[in-house]
Amino acid sequence: MLADRGLIDYDARVADYWPEFTQNGKGEITVSQAMSHQIGLHALPEPFSVEFIVNWDAGIEYIEKAKPAYTPGTKTGYHAHTFGLIAGGIVQAVTGRHIKEFIEDEIAKPLGVEDEMFVGIPEGVEDRLTTLEIWDIQKSLKESGVNLPEDHDFFKAMPNEMWKHFNEMSVRKACIPAGNGHFTARALAKMYAALAGDGSIEGVGLVSPKRISHMHRLVTDAFDIVLGTPVNRGIGFYVDGGRDGIQGPMGPRKSAFGHSGAGGSIAFADPEIGLAVAVTLNKMEFAQPGTGRALEICDLIRTELKVS
């Protein structure tokens, strides 16, 4: 949205907008690199602290001072938690507004879903929350035949200790853009429905029509050192079309873009066929590529609509 308004250039340096970001060799990192997980800031501070992940200001300061794990632009690694801080820091630096406020005022309220779309819940919605049935990540990895050393980048980005806290109210009320969005599937699908068309829905424009093509433009398909597999990525979004003959929930078209969530939830737009889908799950699973409940649901939708 900010790029569409001419406030951000994807090829500009993050430090041009956020001067404090330049510390420890990050001065030449571009917005495009930052938004496609290519800058080596995936690791959380050690030891893991739930107090850290709920403290927005501490997170922003951490990103400003952090040193990349590799030369930015030479590798890619999923910035599982830190992506929200990086994106939020850019938004804050450019607009002077907290990303939680930006999402509420620029997306949720205009779409009429302000009571169904939160990044950090407000008071008064506690009785509407589902409880997330959280996976045992180490057990799931072993059952899948994956044995990762304790110092693997996967655990640096997503520490084992982190998962058990996501039902805690302190975490649910904090602003964690990469990890604690609370949505109805309807609200999330409505947002993506605008992106599956001309950038607008029901008279509400999120972006101009020309911006859609940027959203599903492939930036990198490199091997991801955190996830242990190649990943198709654009500016913030995953882009699909399948890989090595394996199709994901977003389907077979390269026009599809969106993002999956840990445990199987996913939301995406496919502007080639005007389709937007959101699947929100409260029981996490560790599905192998080309499998899982979200894929089954999305495949069923495409089959019923005869767009598969």
| pLDDT tens per residue across span 69-86 | 999 999 999 999 999 999
Q: How confident is the model at residue 286 (pLDDT cuts 50, 70, 90)?
A: confident
pTM: 0.95
Residues in the chain: 308
User: What's the pLDDT at 131?
Assistant: 94
User: What's the pLDDT at 242?
Assistant: 77
The gap between the terminal CA atoms of the chain, to the nearest Å, is 30
- The mean per-residue pLDDT over the stretch 64-69 comes to 98
- The mean per-residue pLDDT over the stretch 242-258 comes to 89
Report the percent of the chain where pLDDT is more than 90: 88
Question: Distance of CA 14 to CAs 32, 34, 270, Å?
Answer: 9, 8, 29
User: What's the pLDDT at 245?
Assistant: 81
Distance of CA 47 to the CA centre of its chain: 24
Q: For residue 90, what is the enclosing H or E element?
A: helix 82-95
SS3 182: strand
**Alpha carbons 78 and 228: distance in angstroms, whole number:** 10
User: What's the pLDDT at 247?
Assistant: 87
Q: How confident is the model at residue 142 (pLDDT cuts 50, 70, 90)?
A: confident
User: What's the pLDDT at 243?
Assistant: 77
- With a cut of 80, say whether residue 34 has pLDDT above it: yes
**Alpha carbons 256 and 139: distance in angstroms, whole number:** 32
User: What's the pLDDT at 141?
Assistant: 78
Beta-carbon contacts of residue 170 (< 8 Å; ≥ 6 apart):
50, 54
- With a cut of 80, say whether residue 189 has pLDDT above it: yes
User: What's the pLDDT at 236?
Assistant: 94
One-letter amino acid identity for 226?
V
DSSP per residue, 106-164: IIIHHHT-TTTEEESPPTT-GGGPPPPB---HHHHHHHTT----TTSHHHHHS-GGGGG
- With a cut of 90, say whether residue 290 has pLDDT above it: no
User: What's the pLDDT at 144?
Assistant: 78
Q: Which superfamily does 184-304 belong to?
A: DD-peptidase/beta-lactamase superfamily (3.40.710.10)
Average pLDDT, the chain: 95
51 burial (CB, 10 Å; 0-12 / 13-18 / 19+) is exposed
Q: Tell which wins on pLDDT, 56 or 262.
A: 56
**Alpha carbons 76 and 43: distance in angstroms, whole number:** 13
- With a cut of 80, say whether residue 252 has pLDDT above it: yes
Q: Which residue has 């947002």 as its token pair?
A: 191
Encode 296-305: b = buried (16+ Cβ within 10 Å), e = exposed. ebbeebbeee
Q: How confident is the model at residue 296 (pLDDT cuts 50, 70, 90)?
A: very high
User: What's the pLDDT at 244?
Assistant: 80
User: What's the pLDDT at 197?
Assistant: 97
- The mean per-residue pLDDT over the stretch 134-152 comes to 83
